[in-house]
């Protein structure tokens, strides 16, 4: 699942293309993935695209449109000047599909040509729209395709600000918010007896942290992920508090993490994985001490850490 840095890169890419543009049509092919009446947003203009935790929030004229990519969600926007056929296979199968073309020359592709974000799985390597395309939103300047292999993601219409608050009000503060203070963080950790890895994954504590950046933040602070949250002393808490924004900002600078086939909003790979200290580095030497990185399970979730440094 994309975490805060990945969703934020997608938000920025989509906002650059869709803010100020009007929804012309909505084609829902998998009703359970679209919550609300599609006709309600036809004619609505996109005023802003924001993000709360891992959810994209489209502010329309009279509604909010929430999008959660979950495990395998993917968004592809093709501008009006181009067509989906620009990326499809030709009849003689000589032309590469969109995913194959992205793999071949992603460095040459420009964001102003199209926007893609999420998980271009190999299963998506088909003509658009394809069997995994479940929602198509037509704008006055192009078409947005929502693909989802496992159908865990969703798009939801919310009619009011009060409704929006109900949808996202349970999330904890963003790492950039004034509410994410040291006193707040220390209090939240002190009242929890779960492991630090579990606490960091709790979206009511800090919004947007998932497996990747929980592991990386704990390594940055040199704290064992199995340690209980209420056992941290003030020095350790301060280290972890400082490391969360440090890790997030570094991840944003590198366009997020490309695990498997995840891509940024311009279709290129996020490069954070190349500089990650522990995540997906099981058995490889620690960048600091040389000890092999270990992978364990904590409450059913994978966790990577250095047994010596942490």
Point out the residues that are catalytic: 2-3, 54, 301
Element (H, E) at 7: helix 4-18
Q: How far, in Å, CA of 154 to CA of 73, rounded?
A: 8
Two tokens at 79?
A: 């501008």
CA dihedral 178, 181, 187, 192 (to 10 degrees): 80
Q: What are the residues whose beta carbons fall under 8 Å from the beta carbon of 183, sequence distance 6 or more? A: none
Judging by DSSP bridges, how do beta strands 154-158 and 34-35 pair with one another? parallel
The residues facing 56 across adjacent strands are: 51, 67
∠ CA 277-12-34, nearest 5°, is 100
Distance separating alpha carbons of residues 34 and 157, to the nearest angstrom: 8
∠ CA 298-301-305, nearest 5°, is 65
């Amino acid at each position: 699942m994309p975490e805060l840095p990945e969703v934020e890169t997608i938000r920025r890419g989509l906002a650059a293309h869709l803010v100020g543009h009007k929804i012309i049509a909505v084609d829902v092919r998998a009703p359970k993935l679209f919550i609300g009446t599609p006709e309600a947003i036809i004619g609505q203009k996109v005023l802003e695209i924001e993000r709360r935790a891992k959810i994209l929030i489209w502010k329309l004229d009279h509604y909010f449109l929430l999008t959660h990519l979950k495990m395998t969600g993917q968004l592809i926007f093709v501008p009006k000047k181009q067509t989906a056929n620009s990326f499809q296979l030709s009849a003689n199968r000589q032309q590469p599909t969109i995913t194959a073309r992205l793999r071949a020359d992603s460095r040459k592709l420009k964001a102003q040509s199209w926007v893609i974000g999420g998980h271009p799985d190999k299963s998506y390597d088909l003509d658009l729209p394809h069997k995994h395309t479940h929602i198509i939103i037509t704008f006055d300047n192009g078409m947005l395709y929502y693909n989802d292999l496992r159908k865990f993601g969703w798009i939801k219409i919310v009619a009011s600000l009060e409704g929006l608050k109900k949808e996202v009000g349970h999330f904890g503060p963003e790492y950039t918010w004034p509410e994410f203070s040291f006193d707040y963080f220390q209090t939240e950790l002190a009242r929890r007896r779960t492991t630090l890895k579990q606490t960091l994954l709790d979206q009511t504590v800090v919004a947007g942290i998932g497996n990747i950046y929980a592991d990386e933040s704990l390594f940055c602070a040199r704290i064992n992920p199995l340690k209980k949250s209420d056992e941290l002393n003030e020095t350790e808490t301060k280290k972890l508090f400082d490391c969360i924004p440090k890790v997030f900002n570094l991840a944003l600078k590198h366009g997020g993490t490309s695990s498997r086939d995840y891509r940024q909003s311009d279709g290129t790979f996020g490069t954070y994985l190349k500089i990650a200290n522990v995540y997906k580095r099981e058995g490889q030497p620690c960048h600091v001490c040389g000890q092999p990185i270990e992978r364990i399970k904590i409450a059913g979730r994978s966790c990577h850490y250095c047994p010596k440094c942490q």
